[in-house]
Structure 1
Amino acid sequence: MRLSTLCTALLAAALASLPAQAAPLGFDDLSGDGLTPVADGYAGLRFANAASIAAAALPGSGYAVAAVSGPNAAFSLDGGEMQISRADGGLFHVAGGWFTSAWQEQELLLEGWLAGALVYSSAPLAIGTGAALQLQLDWQGIDQLVIANSLAGAPNGHWAVDDLAITLAVPEPGSAALVAAALGVAALGRRRRPAARSTLTRTPA
């Protein structure tokens, strides 16, 4: 078997062994006061421009239907874009969530980023105030989730999210060993390969 083929096989096996189970984030263990930002490290994540709000806080608004599994939901604190990353800078997977606009109809656009490159993008999601809308995704191995809204900067641009399904990608000991083996095979291949005179061009992801 060629070293490159072996390396690919080992990496594929390591990625396949990543855990794929996590409870959706319901934000029900937060204050729900509509003022306090979601703290860094919550559920192992870092939220930019996010706070929690109780569904009962503002009857008649979209917040009243935003919480689909408990008393609270998260919302965009300034009515604009929300960014989510891992607190330790690692990778995570996103399976989806439930979204609601607080005051008027608007659109959301979700993006998944990895090492500064856009790797996933959703179609525009139209949300209103009458009911939470579920968006299902299968985004694997990103380091930042960006949720942008069409009313960003408007006085009534706020929107909410609940039951956000995020899984932290933490290799188990066996998969970590596979990654180490794959890197070792790759290093061996580099030592055995003669110096190349041509330049390889990598296709952007």
Structure 2
Amino acid sequence: MKLKLLAASVLLGLASAAQAAPVRFDNPGVIDIDAGNVATYTEGGFTLSGQAADYLLLDDGAGNGWLVGGFLGAGPLTLRPAAGGLFGLASLDFGYFDLGDTPGELAITGLLDGQQVAMQTLALGAMTTTQFDSQWLGLSEVRFSATSGFQLDNISAVPEPGSVALLAVGLGGLWVSRRRSTPA
């Protein structure tokens, strides 16, 4: 019995440790800008980077924030796990941000070791949420680019060990329930 409790505790610990907090941009921290003018922002276990003039973080003063991009249209904004490794993109909020242009499209590209494995183009308009399917698992980075001003919020991404740990918890639960239902 002690072994079962220990195994369950370890599996639950792995599952919770592998989860990353959503990137909400609420009370945003510092954006680091390097000598090459690349701006980097880290939150929730993930790093966003792009040309410094292409995006900024806005905060309404009440602790609610979001990322705004599409300035100058020079390059993509990249999302990666801060500690490296693979991850899955689950969902995000997106919308049009008026930069004096008309609403365009937001292209989201999933990459694995520099190779495109997933792509989705979304029409920009009122802020809305989109969910991603299984093709958005096992990514090394996600790139965002747009044809007009855009805003992002509540980016929900999970490092890949999280998927493995959650599978392990589920299998462990099945094993425990099977052991309980097996007659002695």
- Following superposition, the deviation at residue 73 of structure 1 comes to 0.8
Alignment of 1:1-205 (within 5 A): 22-30=20-28, 36=31, 39-49=40-50, 50-55=55-60, 71-76=64-69, 78=71, 80=73, 81-103=76-98, 104-122=102-120, 124-128=121-125, 131-138=126-133, 139-151=136-148, 158-170=149-161, 172=165
Q: Count how many residue pairs are aligned between Structure 1 and Structure 2.
A: 134
- Following superposition, the deviation at residue 79 of structure 1 comes to 5.0
Secondary structure of 1:84 counterpart: strand
Cα distance in 2 for partners of 1:42, 1:53 equals 15
Cα distance in 1 for partners of 2:103, 2:61 equals 20
- Following superposition, the deviation at residue 93 of structure 1 comes to 0.8
What is the CA deviation profile of residues 62-113 of structure 1, one whole-angstrom value per residue up to 9, with x for unaligned ones?
xxxxxxxx61111227354211112222111101211111113110111100
Aligned identity (percent) is: 25
Cα distance in 2 for partners of 1:126, 1:46 equals 25
Asked if structure 2 preserves the Cα contact closer than 8 Å seen for 1:21 and 1:167, the reply is yes
- Following superposition, the deviation at residue 135 of structure 1 comes to 1.5
Asked if structure 2 preserves the Cα contact closer than 8 Å seen for 1:24 and 1:163, the reply is yes
Cα RMSD between the aligned structures? 3.1
- Following superposition, the deviation at residue 22 of structure 1 comes to 4.7
Asked if structure 2 preserves the Cα contact closer than 8 Å seen for 1:93 and 1:142, the reply is yes
- Following superposition, the deviation at residue 164 of structure 1 comes to 0.8
Cα distance in 2 for partners of 1:121, 1:42 equals 24
What is the CA deviation profile of residues 127-183 of structure 1, one whole-angstrom value per residue up to 9, with x for unaligned ones?
12xx202221021110110111123xxxxxx311011111122355x97xxxxxxxx
Report the AA paired with residue 146 of structure 2.
N
Distance 1:86 1:23, change over 3 A: closer
What is the CA deviation profile of residues 26-78 of structure 1, one whole-angstrom value per residue up to 9, with x for unaligned ones?
111315xxx94675542222211343212479xxxxxxxxxxxx611112273
Asked if structure 1 preserves the Cα contact closer than 8 Å seen for 2:89 and 2:137, the reply is yes
Normalised to the residue count of structure 2, the TM-score between the two structures is 0.60
Asked if structure 2 preserves the Cα contact closer than 8 Å seen for 1:99 and 1:161, the reply is yes
Report the AA paired with residue 106 of structure 1.
G
Which runs of 5 or more residues in structure 2 are unaligned? Answer: 1-13, 33-38, 169-184
Secondary structure of 1:88 counterpart: coil
Cα distance in 2 for partners of 1:54, 1:168 equals 27
